Structure 1
Amino acid sequence: MKHIVVLTGAGISAESGIKTFRDADGLWEGHDVMEVATPQGFNKNPELVLDFYNQRRKQLHEVKPNSAHFDLAALEKDYKVTIITQNVDDLHERAGSSNVIHLHGELLKVKSTKNEQDIKPWTGDLILGDVCDKGHQLRPHIVWFGEDVPMIEKSIDICETADILLIIGTSMQVYPAAGLMNYVPSRTPVYFIDPKPAIASTKHITVIADTATNGMSSFIESLK
């Protein structure tokens, strides 16, 4: 069974209604990303940061997976599929994908500020005073700018086993995630779905300049 490794980014979730930030203006829902997505921002104003992610969590409960998410899940009928996502939502899982790695953490989980391994599910609001079993404040289970990406080594190992690499909704400009495509075997076919692709088609790279939902339909056709 061929192994399809899928790298997904904000573009696939955007079609479900999840707003994203863009590096061009550095704003996320009107906030400077340095205020809400860095350890320094959390130390400076933890209430602002916790409220920001509470709002993101509420938004996540209001949206649903789109056809691109469901199409990826359906590929598991005929292929081994591993999804490596930069997204912190659970839309891949809700659509039925069974093997999802979250590079940048998960919005519906929290962790202790003193123990990175102390992680637990969390679906509601997180406020100051919510603590772990050891009495330490809980924070969103999100990899903030300036923090290590714990799952990157595992993701590299997975990319090295890819028979097909599929990239959806990510500009491949944010590292270390952007470097993952360099670890697939040299002759592995790469499909790149993005309405404004940052790379061009080559012998081994097929660019599908379209949205995630439309692009997935084209990709599935190419497999037949």
Structure 2
Amino acid sequence: QIVELFVTINAKHTRLNPSHIISLAGRKLYPDPNQALAHDEIRSLNEDDTSPLHGEIKMLGTGRGRVSQAPLAEEIVDFLETVEKIGGAARIQELRQGAKRFFLNYVKTLSTTFPAAWAGRKYSIKTGAALRAFIRVAPDVMARARELRRDPFDLNAIREAVRPWGERLRDRRFETEGEWKLKLAGGTRGTVEILTRELRDALR
């Protein structure tokens, strides 16, 4: 309780970077398993040498990455809660056990589905807004993989599920001075919502 109070006071009165709060949140502070898991997933994506997001996420508000961990953690928590509501105890348990495998394979899939955007500097695919949208449609991706009678945690199954993105959206959707700029809508929230809708529609 004392530590939680410390976090609350400091967040409100010293404008502590929200990423710091997420990092403090870990397992010790919050008994909520979804928050702890979200935090672990982001750290894993940032630290795993095989992750296309290796070193790209700002942990504790520091690092060369352009993406802060806090908004991504919030999206992953929402994702976990969505799965729990729709799928129940068995489905969320399965996800908790396979989450690390899913997110690593999902990010690997994004890097190969949009290869030019992922590797290029003139694209906005590795921004907080884009990554939040990709996390937001993760339940749809898993559902699509299941429809294809595949293991939704498997790399090839995820690739098969999101194949329409490469055909319909393509790399150009993320060109910073092109389509990305044209579809910026009322700040980050609007931009995330528009991209989420496009990704969801393209899966159908």
Q: TM-score, normalised by structure 1?
A: 0.22
Q: Between Structure 1 and Structure 2, which shows a larger proportion of helix residues?
A: 2
Q: Which has the higher contact order (CA 8 A, sep 6+)?
A: 1
More strand by share: 1
